[in-house]
Structure 1
Amino acid sequence: MSDRDLLAYEPMWTTERDRWELHQTSLGYLPILKGDPPMAELICDDGLADQVIAKMLAAGVAVVALPD
């Protein structure tokens, strides 16, 4: 993974931050693009996914908790 790989996702925590939310799952967080229908962003590289999620959390992207 390179910095360029991470930069490809940068709008998710910067310019398009309000269009995204993080859904909490039993395994962590899943980035979801809000809409009708909402769409999950699957990132196959676990290290890259962890970095993207960390950036989104640090930027204050909304977190949707699992229902009780």
Structure 2
Amino acid sequence: MIDRDLLAYEPMWTTERDRWELHQTSLGYLPILKGDPPVAELICDDGLADQVIAKMLAAGVAVVALPD
């Protein structure tokens, strides 16, 4: 069962998937809403953030590797 908090982020890997990308840093992944300027989606709950990122990766959301 998916909890209600995770459902709030569902468009990031479903209906709005093409509007998002994951920036890969040395600390992990950061969900970014593409645009001018791009906007980071900060999720303060680490467990929820991990779930969102896992769903985005599984759905094939683009990953951008940032230089160290």
Moved segments of 4+, more than 2 Å: none
Q: Measure how far apart 1:67 and its partner are.
A: 2.2
- C-alpha change, 1:31 and 1:17, in structure 2 (3 Å) is same
Distance 2:15 2:36 in 1: 20
- Provide the identity percentage: 97
Cα distance in 1 for partners of 2:25, 2:65 equals 8
Superposed CA RMSD in Å reads 1.8
TM-score for both structures, normalised by structure 2: 0.95
- Aligned positions, number: 68
Q: Deviations for 1:31-67, whole angstroms, at most 9, x for unmatched residues?
A: 0000000000000000000000000000000000022
Change (3 A) 1:40 1:4: same
